[in-house]
Structures are given as structure tokens and as C-alpha cells.
Amino acid sequence: MPNITIDYTANIADAVETCQLASKLHLAAHALGCFPSNGIRTFARSHDQYLVGHCRGSEAFIQIQVRIAPGRSRELMSQIMNALYKAAVDAMAEQSAKRELGIQLEVTEFSSALTRSHNTISSD
């Protein structure tokens, strides 16, 4: 793992796609070297219905949820958070300079007692 989910307001959809945010986060997760390559999954979805801040319509938001398997140290979890957050902020820097934009990233652990998974994706 991780499972990386990117939710964003529709008013920034073109920018998210143009800067290839999903791809940049996926590659940043690979570059960390702490995840099996066949376990990294990245999803991105635009939301047409949203309210942000003062509801002026120009305000945009990106929420990134990173879910990882349990058992990693707090230090490693912090490294994961910092690397992926930097990748997101760097990818969106041009947009952030042009408009009101919020970016939030959260790393959480799956519960080993309440999670089951099956994977036949090659690790090559």
C-alpha cells in the first residue's frame, strides 16, 4: 500500500489534470522506496457539488487521503507525509499563485483487524 485518494473541486479539474497531480503523487510514493510497487494505488476524482470558504466560486480545494498498512514508525509516516505533500504543493504551485487554493494531505493507517485485501498484481 498506500491507497492515495485525491478529491478536488470541479473548478480546478483542468489544472489538476494538466499538472498530472495523480501521476506525480504516484511516482513520489514509488520514490520513497518503502512500498511494494504493486501495492501503490492512486485515484483522483472531481466533485461537481462543493462549497469552499466564502463560496465565491473561485476558491478551490484539494483533499489527499493516504491510507497505509499498519506497522510503520512515526518517523517513516512523517517522511511519507512530507514527501507526498511536497509533491502535491510543487505540482500545484502555479495554480496556487493564480487563485485561492487549499491543499490538505492526511496519512492514516488501515486497521489490520478490520481490513482484508487480495492482490494478484505483479510486483515487476
Q: Please give the single-letter amino acid code of residue 95.
A: Q
> Does residue 25 contact residue 88 with C-beta atoms inside 8 Å?
yes
Cell numbers at 102, concatenated: 487549499
Q: Which phi and psi angles does 66 have, rounded to 5°?
A: -115, 115
- Would you give per-residue pLDDT tens digits along the chain (124 residues)? 899 999 999 999 999 999 999 999 999 999 999 999 899 999 999 999 999 999 988 999 999 999 999 999 999 999 999 999 999 999 999 999 999 999 999 999 988 888 888 888 887 6
Q: Which phi and psi angles does 9 have, rounded to 5°?
A: -70, 145
DSSP 55: -
Q: What Rg do the C-alpha atoms of the chain give, in angstroms?
A: 15
What does pTM read for this prediction? 0.92
Spell out the domains of the chain, with CATH numbers in brackets: 3-109 (3.30.429.10)
Question: Quick one: which of 39, 104, 43 has its CA closest to 69?
Answer: 39
End-to-end CA gap in the chain: 15
Q: Alpha-carbon torsion 115, 121, 122, 124, what sign?
A: negative
